[in-house]
Amino acid sequence: MIITIIGGGSTFTPGIVKSIALRKEELGVDEIRLFDLDKERQDKVAVVVKWILDEELKSGIKLTVTYDVEEAYTDADFIFAQMRVGKYALREQDEKIPLKHGCVGQETCGCGGLAYGLRTIFPMMEVIDYAEKYAKSSHWILNYSNPASIVSEACRVLRPKARIINICDMPIAIIDVVAAALEIKDKENIVYDYYGLNHFGWFTSIEYKGEDMMPKLRDYIMEHEILLPAAYLKDKAALAGKKTNRHTKGSWYYVWKGVYEIMANFPDTLPNTYLNYYLQQKEFVEHSDPTHTRANEVMESREKNLFDGIDEYLKTGEVKETVFYAGSHGDWIADLAIALKNDTKARFLVITENKGCIPNLPYDAMVEVPAYIGKNGPEVLTQDPVPLFQQGLIMQQLNSEKLIVQAAIEGSYQKALEAFTLSKTVPSMNVAKAVLDDMIEANKGYWPELK
């Protein structure tokens, strides 16, 4: 049983490997393979991965580190993808270029997300094609590579038969924070309903052991004027400390504050934190520093900690527990693989073709909804129609994302301009054009040519 990680040099690789190794028996895993285009980066990350497998967990799992696609994919059972096409250097541009024009600058939302999408669509198709060619015919690709919404739409259009499930860790990160805020220790007993697009959705119910937790949660958020656990709030220093959730650090703070601000106006549902970028565009731009964005924070924290930690290990043979991030992100993808492999029918949120699940959204929309996962993939639950407010927001976002996929396939400047103009984060077509033109320059060599 072989699991191949594409983007082996990712800051998340050690955490994912740890989650896999901790589930060795359920997964029946014998070998983990790392594949990346950046040899220097992956070789370094592999050092700590080897330490986790051999020394920390004494897992007995074989590690293969490769730069050869055939070696990476041959006979793989699972391919976990987490590539960042253009790496942090271009994430920085995705965030800074829109801000320069007074628009939200974000990794996966608005113009930044559209730009990242145009970079990622074709590399993702290559992953699918290599898996088809070399991996076991029963393989599954579990994809975290962002922007997952645009990537999943491209998969639907370009590779409709691909054995791929696109996923996101934000809803479970939100549930982690909800559990901590409401002092629920056994979060596995939380069941929730959710609908939307990736990074663009709403929780409609959150139940714990059969009890509706929404009223308590709403009271909590209104009282604290933020969705963060009281323990973090009491000790602000802990926000920067080692034990907190990574989503609570740096500029993520505004994101959790935004949950309160959104719910103060729209109290019926718990919004995905990403809705802040569409509902508080102006405020986001106001509190952003266009010279220092989340990409900089990540390079100065998660990336630096990991690579400094690896250098330290190579010198001293000691690894500190804070060097790499481990937790829900890796658990989620590893648990999904268990559900597929062992046909457990466990419930997960996945990004999948609507096919009538939400009756008043297009049949072919890639929606993020709960599904039961077994060996044949997701079995989705039918939902009620969504309210007009959310439907309107979703349609605008959905069509913007569909247009960027069409722009990539047709090499169409016109469609790209429509996608940028349609984004709710962009105030006018002229601004859309200015951002798009700057993005074309910044993404030379990564984007398909737009005519």
List active site positions: 169, 274
Residue closer to ligand NAD (CB basis): 32 or 417: 32
Q: Which is nearer to ligand NAD, 6 or 285 (CB)?
A: 6
145 vs 425, beta carbon nearer ligand NAD: 145
Specify the stretch interacting with ligand NAD by CB under 6 A; choose among 67-75, 163-171, 378-386, 389-397. 163-171
* CB nearer Mn ion, residue 333 or residue 339: 333
For residues 129-148, which are near ligand G6P according to CB under 6 A?
146
What letter does residue 189 receive in the DSSP assignment? G
145 belongs to the binding site for ligand NAD (CB under 6 A): yes
Residues contacting 79, CB < 8 A, separation 6+: 3, 4, 5, 6, 73, 127, 131, 135, 139, 140, 141, 142
* Cβ proximity of 168 and 108 under 8 Å: no
Q: Is 95 in the site for ligand G6P (CB under 6 A)?
A: no
* Whether the Cβ atoms of residue 399 and residue 422 lie closer than 8 Å to each other: yes
**Measured between alpha carbons, how far is 140 from 120 in angstroms, rounded to an integer?**
19
Yes or no: say if 352 and 367 are a contact pair by the CB < 8 Å rule: yes
Closest CB to ligand NAD: residue number: 9
Is position 172 an interface residue for Mn ion (rule: CB under 5 A)? no
Q: How many residues does the chain have?
A: 451
**Spatial CA neighbour of 293 closest among 242, 251, 265, 330:** 251
- Minimum distance, C-beta of residue 82 to Mn ion, in the bound complex (Å): 11
119 is a site residue for ligand G6P (CB under 6 A): no
Question: CA 127 to CA 164: how far, in whole Å?
Answer: 10
Residue 87 Cβ vs Mn ion, minimum distance, rounded to whole Å: 18
Name the pairing type of β-strands 200-208 and 62-66: unpaired
Pair of tokens at residue 253: 């703070």
Chain positions 78 to 137 lying near ligand NAD, rule: CB under 6 A, are 82-85, 87-88, 123
Count of residues engaged in binding ligand G6P, rule: CB under 6 A? 10
Q: What is the dihedral of CA 40, 46, 48, 49, to 10 degrees?
A: 160
Q: How far is CA 384 from the centre of its chain?
A: 26
Q: CA-CA distance, 188 to 180, in Å (whole number)? A: 13
- Residue 324 interface partner, choices Mn ion, ligand G6P, ligand NAD, none, CB cut-off 5-8 Å depending on type: none
Give the range of 2-10, 240-248, 309-317, 408-416 binding ligand NAD by CB under 6 A: 2-10
Residue from 18, 156, 294, 402 that binds ligand G6P (CB under 6 A)? 294
Could you list the residues that contact ligand NAD (CB under 6 A)? Answer: 6-7, 9-12, 36-38, 41, 82-85, 87-88, 123, 144-146, 148, 168-170, 329
Could you list the residues that contact ligand G6P (CB under 6 A)? Answer: 107-108, 146, 168-170, 173, 246, 294, 298
Could you list the residues that contact Mn ion (CB under 5 A)? Answer: 168, 170
